[in-house]
Structure 1
Amino acid sequence: MEYSPDDLDRKLATAFDGKVVRKDLLHRIKKGTNVPTFVLEFLLARYCASDDPAEIQAGMEAVLDTLNENYVRPNDANAAQSRVATKGKHRFIDKVHVNYVEKDRRHWAALENFDSRRVAIGEKYYRDNDRLLQGGLWAEVTVAFNEVEDDKYTFYVEDLRPIQLSRFDFDRYCEGRAGFTRDEWMDVILRSVGLEPSKLSARVKFHYIARLAPLIEANYNFIELGPRGTGKSYFFSEFSPYSTLISGGQATKAVLFYNSQRHKIGLVGFWDTVAFDEVGGLKVKDPDTIQIMKDFMANGRFSRGVEVIADASMAFVGNLDLSVDQIVHSEVYDLFQPLPKEFDLAVQDRFACYLPGWEMPKNSSEFLTSRYGFITDYLAEAFHHQLKQTNRYEEVSKRIKLGREVEGRDEKGVKKTVCAFLKILHPNGSPTDAEFEEYVAYAVEGRRRVKEQMNKRKTDDEYARINLSYISATGQEVVVFCPESRNATATLEPSRRSIHGGAPVPSLVPAEPTAPAPSPAAPPAVATVVEPESTLLASATPQEIAMPAEPELTEQHFTIHYGDTGHSYESIVLPYLRGARSVTIEDPYIRATHQVQNFVRFCEAVIKAPSVRNIMLITSYDDTTNLQDLTSRLDELKQSLLELDVALDVKVNENLHDREIRIDNGWTIKIGRGLDFFQKPDSWFGVGANDISLRRCLETKVDIFKAPAA
């Protein structure tokens, strides 16, 4: 269907000329490439700044040509380096980091996909672009070959032009906002993150705005738990270059907060938002980490020998394995059920807002917009500016009136949520009384959801004041309820027995998770009945108590970020080998010595599943491949596997480009970079040289899904 601009498109394009892009073009090109959203939008804004279909088509072809010529794809590093050595220089689109290396007493640039960490770079580039030193910067970078043999580097940066905005005019942003109503501006924000607001209810729109709160309000603590496939982690992985997403693994105080050995601040000092994906799988081995987290979540500061103050917000997203109806009508379970056991009541009390993820629609193309929205990086800059430079707390405090049951942390959480809504929807002014009341009601509900769960967990009345309220403009006290628990006695008036201590309650109640969830439109036909613990334990066999069922395997979609640790072939693949006998891996880049070594490590991980009896490798080679060495190495591996009763078959497909792992139990695992997603160690005698779970990673996406039945 041919695109036709609507009134909001025309209004936005006029007010923010050069700062907007058609999101349907992004969706079309995004499906065929693994390039970050803001890089694609940068190119689309350059080549597709038109509504003429012929010009749009020519622009799309120019974008694709630019990507083919200049974007370094994973596993193309060797070819890219060869091109520079042959031509003398070449321009690339890549993410550039600059690190000061103490032993060399100089700065070196590291290009992620070009796969070189020792590229010479002039001072002017990192002096003018601070973000090169703080997490990296996507840029068009011209890399040149160094002909001087005596120099200790092969490549140097000849030119660098940031793709991400280097300057942002907040006054101009506010001036443009003044021409829109509140509802129009909300639709602009939603279209900017790729959603079509006409497909969403007013309540769901507010949910999506709330997801953005940690990106714009400093020291804001946010949690969203709900079903899989609702895009919980997208806002923190792709929307803003100022946000980092930690995908499972181990959280340490050195990585998150402060490294005492190196005297360097952790992630909270470099990012606006530190988000934890799949929070239920987060491992916290050091109790000190949780204590520092509590201090930081409370007031944005902590002490580790030195006093550290930072603005980073913390967001926690994860999945609920039981239906919400089961949970709210149960005396045993609560909506914090997926959190790690280390996240005690003190951590939970610091959450300002619990977004009900079960109300969010599943990811679907029907919710994607085909209209204009802000270039992602431009809106991200607007949010970053407000997080760092604006404070609406005093304004909200003067205007808001809260009820008697609102206590200290309740008040702070509610106010910070309202501040976030004001920054997002009213960066240049104040809302009407009706609009302000909407934000307050939503903020109170988000905080009440937190307090209800704490009250359910606590064995006394410390958190019993759950009827949070606000005073309306007419002077009336309005008590706010959470829709899911309004009629749930088990949540509103929980019993005061110890439900989290003593013998564990087997997962036999409430209803079995395999039973279909009741329709949200109607209450369940039969209320959940919770038997006393003694009855449950008496009726369960010893095997049922001692041998809990294996956790259900679920689809996963996450990003491993540059510099992450804690990932290995075993951690990614092994859980999905349950009952598998055959594993097929397609990877065209099993050629160089380190790539074959990676494949050996992969085989070592796979054979830890006792049922596996066959591994099939489908790969390819090029003119530079030493076939004799490659064949010899794979034959050695084949022989060693045979001794363990595992057969290795190797096939060559010269047209192979994709990378995926197929398991005969139906699961497919796609890793964007294939097996080659680890950085080369700084030293082969340092930590991470042998245990790859301790080795830093390159950035890649991981998709794990069940193949549809034939």
Structure 2
Amino acid sequence: MDALDTKLTGVFDGKVVRKDLLHRIKKGTNVPTFVLEFLLARFCASDDDDEIQAGLEAVLDTLQDNYVRPNEANMAQSKVATKGKYRFIDKVHVNYVEKDKRHWAALENFDSRRVAIGEKFYRDNDRLLQGGLWAEIAIAYNEIEDDDYTFYIEDLRPIQLSRFDYAAYCEGRSQFSREEWLDVILRSMGLEPAKLTHRVKLHFIARLLPLVEPNYNFIELGPRGTGKSYFFSEFSPYSTLISGGQATKATLFYNNQRKKIGLVGFWDTVAFDEVGGIKIKDPDTIQIMKDFMANGRFSRGVEVIADASMAFVGNLDLSVSQIVNSEVYDLFQPLPKEFDLAIMDRFAAYLPGWEMPKNSSEFLTGNYGFITDYLAEAFHHQLKHTNRYEEVSQRIKLGQAVEGRDEKGIKKTVAALLKILHPSGPPDDDEFDEYVAYATECRRRVKEQMNKRKSDDEFALINLSFINSKGQDTIVFCPESKSAIATQEPARKNIHHPTGESDQKSARPSVPSVKTEAETPAPESSCADLQEAIEPIIPVLKEQHFTIQYGATGFSYESLMSPYLVNAKAVLIEDPYIRANHQIQNFVRFCETLVKQATIRKITLVTSYDDKTDLKEMASRLDELKQSLLEMDIQLEIKVNENLHDREIRIDNGWIIKIGRGLDFYQKPDSWYGIGSTDLSLRRCLETKVDIYQG
């Protein structure tokens, strides 16, 4: 323990945990961070090594006995049936089924979607009805034959704090300096601040801003592997992450048929992962999104007001130097085409993801930090019950180039920084100037990119500035584009000229060359030359690591895998659960995806079975499929491995696809005559992780 550990454990006794313990357990399990820390706080609240070791064993035993893994659902159900009652840790969803005129609980890994639940549970926990909630659940077996359910929830305890004392949190903060508190927050995120520069520390804090400020619109684009989506998927139980698929107005905002508010009404932050892959088919969705991002309200027959922030994260495929020095590209390049300038103008901050370090164990801390759930409760309280915007408005002074949305975005960013770093009082003048400068830079990055896209001067006032505490008007630049002429003075197109020739007559190249110290300057090239050179480039396939959320749609085998099957001749699929009727049907659909690739000649299935499997029926159905594939000149080879546990798809072109649940990641349709019964892209999914990478 260092001095900060000693101070933190003394002031916030019982609310901190050693973060290296989390790292040690996290590597061996797929349980969310706040669930693990919930258990660590229960069993490892000590600084004695022997007690901590015993606590770790207790945590592992609890996970072994009570955490339901996706491939152990049958065993978990058997435990309840034989023992009458059992306590599990699982994610619970509650759905109202209209034809039954009642609510049913769906347990994600327990794999039962018709569990009886008492009204008090979903009345006291709204998020059970939208998005689900991790909890300790006592599941009991129903022996009454006339009832139409097998299991019911006897007790449910959310894995969250039952009560939170914000006054005590603020009192504790007052005993730390700003730098100490900054390091405490970073250690609570699992990072070691001694390994980070001050600027990168602020970047990590900026990722948390949507969790504390209502209706805060945030975007981070950058390289892969920097942990962009972690904070929204695991850091807080009050945020939800949408990974790809379709973003519909009914899911996000309001379902007119069910008269139910969407995700924005139940979560503090709605984050969009891999934002470039979001499919928005209904133009109304974008219009409602614009309204909501502007003022936190929208109308769909009824007026809806909600506090949810919106965060967008994604990947840049070109280097930042290429982009800022290009007249063709801008830093919003990965966004869906439906995201127009009106959407972009609503972003309060653009975090430079390219400045963030790649995920590495060298940046992980072994010191103490807040239990994630405790800090999440503090942030949730601040989002709902504190307002620092007026305090910022009275103190801040902005330059003449700052326009309406610029001012709002800068003030909201500063207000959010104050909530995280100064919950107990105002910062001093130097600290306040630092926050204003950082907020101004993050907003300028948004405005510079809009200015590059616009053919007129609507967003030309990019030299955003503020008057500091010494009375100096300070212009803030973005480091990556400060000397990039293509960004600072983008060429305007002449809309009346048949070739779109630039109105500017300067001799400067439209796209300055990017050179290293060892290179000589490249010859000047025109914008048309660059465009001609760039257009034939086809983006290369990239690795993907994401989570399909419970209830998401838009994920068929074809949409997930087709791009990675190009030129493939042989595919090996290892999945122990191709045995039940619906699982074999899923495998048939998978084979149909492969058949559409004209080069496929061999499919190998490695699977297994248990003592409940009807081997005769399983063999008969797979043999029918084998004969059908032979007619298309494709060989199907089937192997049995009784010890098979992992699920993966290996393609002979080098790509490997791992889906946590294998091919069986779809929910059973409510009706075989409903939408999604035959088209898998419209069928709702179970939650599962997807990893696509080169072998």
What TM-score do the two structures reach when normalised by structure 1? 0.93
Deviates more, 1:385-394 or 1:131-140: 131-140
Contact residue 245 and residue 552 of structure 2 kept, 8 A: no
| Residue aligning to 1:560 | 548
Counterpart residue number, 1:222: 218
Partners of 1:503 and 1:310 in 2: CA distance: 47
Choose from 172, 176, 190 the match for 2:172: 176
2:691: which partner in 1? Answer: 703
Instruction: Note if contact 1:329-1:528 (Cα within 8 Å) is conserved in structure 2.
Output: no
The equivalences for 1:61-100 within 5 A come to: 61-100=57-96
Describe the SS at the equivalent of 1:485.
Answer: coil
Note the C-alpha offset of 1:270. Answer: 1.5
1:39-86 Cα deviation digits (max 9, x unpaired): 111111122222333322222222222112111111322221122112
Matching residue of 2:491: 495
- 2:597 is aligned to 609
1:227-282 CA-to-partner distances (Å, cap 9, x unmatched) read: 11111111111111111111122222222222222222222112111111111222
Worse overlay, 77-86 or 354-363: 77-86
Choose from 581, 589, 614 the match for 1:626. Answer: 614
What is the CA–CA distance in structure 2 between the aligned matches of 1:498 and 1:45, rounded to whole Å?
64
Match of 2:361 among 337, 360, 365: 365
Q: Aligned match of 1:583 in 562, 566, 571?
A: 571
- Contact 1:573 1:606 (8 Å CA) reproduced: no
Does 2:526 correspond to 1:531? yes
Do the aligned partners of residues 288 and 621 (structure 1) sit closer, same or farther apart at CA in structure 2, a change above 3 Å counting? same
Taking the aligned partners of 2:190 and 2:523, their CA distance within structure 1 comes to 40
Distance 1:511 1:563 in 2: 47
The alpha carbon displacement at 1:504 in A equals: 11
By how many angstroms is 1:437 displaced? 0.7
Alpha-carbon deviation of 1:129? 2.9
Structure 2 counterpart of 1:590, one-letter code: I
Task: Indicate how the Cα distance of structure 1 residues 574 and 633 shifts in structure 2: closer, same or farther if over 3 A, else same.
Answer: same
Of the three residues 642, 653, 677, the one matched with 1:689 is: 677
CA–CA distance in structure 2, aligned partners of residues 327 and 657 of structure 1:
45
Report the secondary structure of 1:157's partner residue: strand
- Cross-structure match for 1:147: 143
Q: Structure 1: how far apart are the matches of 2:59 and 2:170? A: 31
Q: Shift of the alpha carbon at 1:527?
A: 5.9
- Kept in 2, the 8 Å contact 1:326–1:510? The answer is no
The SS at the match of 2:417 is helix
Q: CA deviation at 1:38?
A: 1.1
Question: Could you tell me which residue of structure 1 aligns to residue 131 of structure 2?
Answer: 135
Q: What do you get for the CA RMSD once the two structures are aligned? A: 2.3
Deviation at residue 386 of structure 1 after TM alignment: 0.8
Given that 1:296 and 1:302 are in contact with CA atoms closer than 8 Å, whether structure 2 keeps it comes out as yes
Verify: 1:260 aligned to 2:260, yes or no.
no
CA contact (8 A) 1:586 1:660 kept: yes
Which residue identity is paired with 1:572?
L
Partners of 2:130 and 2:25 in 1: how far apart? 29
Q: CA deviation at 1:607?
A: 2.3
Q: Write the deviation string for residues 189-226 of structure 1: whole angstroms up to 9, x where unpaired.
A: 11111111111100000111111111111111111111
Aligned to 1:335: 331
Paired residue for 1:394, among 374, 384, 390? 390
Q: In the alignment, is the contact (CA less than 8 A) between 2:192 and 2:364 conserved in 1? A: yes
Q: Distance in 2 between matches of 1:7 and 1:555?
A: 42
1:598 to 586, 592, 599: 586
Equivalent position amino acid for 1:484 in 2: E
Tell whether the 8 Å contact from 1:252 to 1:289 is kept in structure 2 after alignment: yes
What TM-score comes out, normalization by structure 2 length? 0.95
Deviates more, 1:567-576 or 1:161-170: 161-170
Residue correspondence of structure 1 range 219-618 to structure 2 within 5 A: 219-497=215-493, 526=521, 529-533=524-528, 548-618=536-606
| Change in CA separation of 1:228 and 1:511 when aligned onto 2, cut-off 3 Å | farther
1:350 CA drift (Å):
0.8
Distance 1:554 1:536, change over 3 A: closer
Query: Counterpart of 1:284 in structure 2: which amino acid?
Result: I
CA distance in 1, matches of 2:247, 2:118: 35
1:528, distance to aligned residue in structure 2 (A): 8.0
SS of 2:221's equivalent? strand
Segment of structure 1 superposing worse, 278-287 or 523-532: 523-532
**2:257 aligns to what SS in structure 1?**
coil
Write out per-residue CA displacement over residues 575-624 of structure 1, whole angstroms, 9 at most, x where no aligned residue. Answer: 11122111111112222222222222221222222222111111222222
Q: Give yes or no for contact 1:585–1:618 (8 Å, CA) kept in 2.
A: yes
C-alpha distance after superposition, 1:514-556 (max 9, x if no partner): xxx867xx698536844143x568x77xxx97xx444311111
Structure 2: stretches of 5+ with no match in the other structure: 502-509
Q: Is the 8 A contact 1:129 1:166 kept in 2?
A: no
Pairs aligned (count): 687
Q: Secondary structure at the match of 2:175?
A: coil
Residues 567, 599 of structure 2: 8 Å contact kept: yes
